[in-house]
Chains A and B, each alone.
Chain A
C-alpha cells in the first residue's frame, strides 16, 4: 500500500477536524489515498472527546477571552489543549485491514510509530494503555481512534513544550479522573519533548515523519479540490457549529 503524507501545516480547529472526517469517508470510498498528516492549530484550540461535555471540560469563557477555539472531535477520549507552538498533531487514515483487528492492539501498533520517532531524538517513551504514550512516567502523547466502513482514523498529539498554567486555565480537570492514578498534582502528569533537550519543533516533526514512514512506501501530497470543498462544507455545517460542539 502506498501512503500519501501531507507535511506539517497549520489550520484552525474546525478545518482540522473536518478534513479528518472527509478522509475517513473518502478513503472508504477509495476516493482518497491512505493518508498520514501532520498539523498544528491556529489559533490554539481545545478539542474534546466525542462524549464529553464542553461546558464541563473547557473554560469556554477563558477560551473566548484569549482567542482559543474549542471543538468536539469525531473520536472519543479526553480534552486536549493544542497550543499553536506547543505540540504537533497527526492523523492517520487507512483501511482497518492494514492494522491489528482489535482497537487496543492497533493503538499500540500506531503509537509505536511515535515511540520510534521520539526514540530517534533519544527520548525513551512507552505505550501506556489505553491510548497514551508516556516518557519518564509522564504523558507526552494522547491518541484517539475511530473506525467507519472498514477505515480506521487515529489522531493524536505529541507535546513539544508545555505552558501548564495556560493549559489548566483552559481545561477543567476533575479530581475523579486522576483519583486512581494517586497523583494529587495534575502538573505532575504531563511532560513534553522540550523537557528532554534543546529540540526545535522542526526536530520533532522530522522525528515523527521518520517514525510514521519508516518501512512504508509513500509520496508527499496535498489536498485536492474535492477534499477541500468537502472539508469546508463539514466545517460550516458541523465542526464550526454550537449544535455540534455543545451537544452534550
Chain B
C-alpha cells in the first residue's frame, strides 16, 4: 500500500514522505523536500534504515534508528532531524 505525508518542521524545512508498506512492514521509503543533508549521496542510507521496520513501530524507535545511521554515516541534516523524519513517516502511515 502506498502512502504519503507532508510535514513542515517548525523553524525548519519541508519533509515529504512517499512510503510503500506490505503486511505491516515498510518496503520502500522516499524522503523529498527542501532540506539540506550532507553528504547528499547518503540520503539513501536514511531511507533504507526505515525499510524493514514495522509501520506500527514507535515514532521514537524510528527516530533512534535514523539517528544511529546518521551518526555512523557522519550525515549532517539542516532543517530536518531524525525526530521530524520519524514524525513524517508516522503521519504517512496514518498514526
Chain A residues at the B interface, C-beta cutoff of 8 Å: 49-53, 56, 74-79, 103-104, 130-131, 144-148, 174, 176-177, 179-180, 248
A179 to B10, CA, bound (A): 9
Chain B binding surface SS class: strand
A131 to B11, CA, bound (A): 12
Interface residue tally for chain B (C-beta within 8 Å): 24
Task: State how many angstroms separate the Cβ of A186 from the closest Cβ of chain B.
Answer: 14
Contact residues in B for A53 (Cβ distance below 8 Å): 16, 32
Q: B12, B31, B36: which has the most chain A beta carbons within 10 Å?
A: B36
Chain B residues at the A interface, C-beta cutoff of 8 Å: 6-8, 10-14, 16, 30-40, 43, 76, 78-79
B78 interface neighbour in A78, A79, A130, A174, Cβ under 8 Å: A130
Contact residues in B for A145 (Cβ distance below 8 Å): 36
Residue contact A76 to B36, C-beta cutoff 8 Å? yes
Supposing A180-B10, A248-B30 touch, asked if A76 and B39 sit within 8 A by C-beta, the answer is no
Residue contact B36 to A103, C-beta cutoff 8 Å? yes
A77 to B79, CA, bound (A): 9
Residue contact B8 to A180, C-beta cutoff 8 Å? yes
Residue contact B14 to A177, C-beta cutoff 8 Å? yes
Of all chain B residues, which has the CB nearest A181?
B8
Supposing A104-B78, A146-B38 touch, asked if A176 and B32 sit within 8 A by C-beta, the answer is no
Contact residues in A for B11 (Cβ distance below 8 Å): 180
Residue contact A51 to B78, C-beta cutoff 8 Å? no
Of all chain B residues, which has the CB nearest A57?
B34
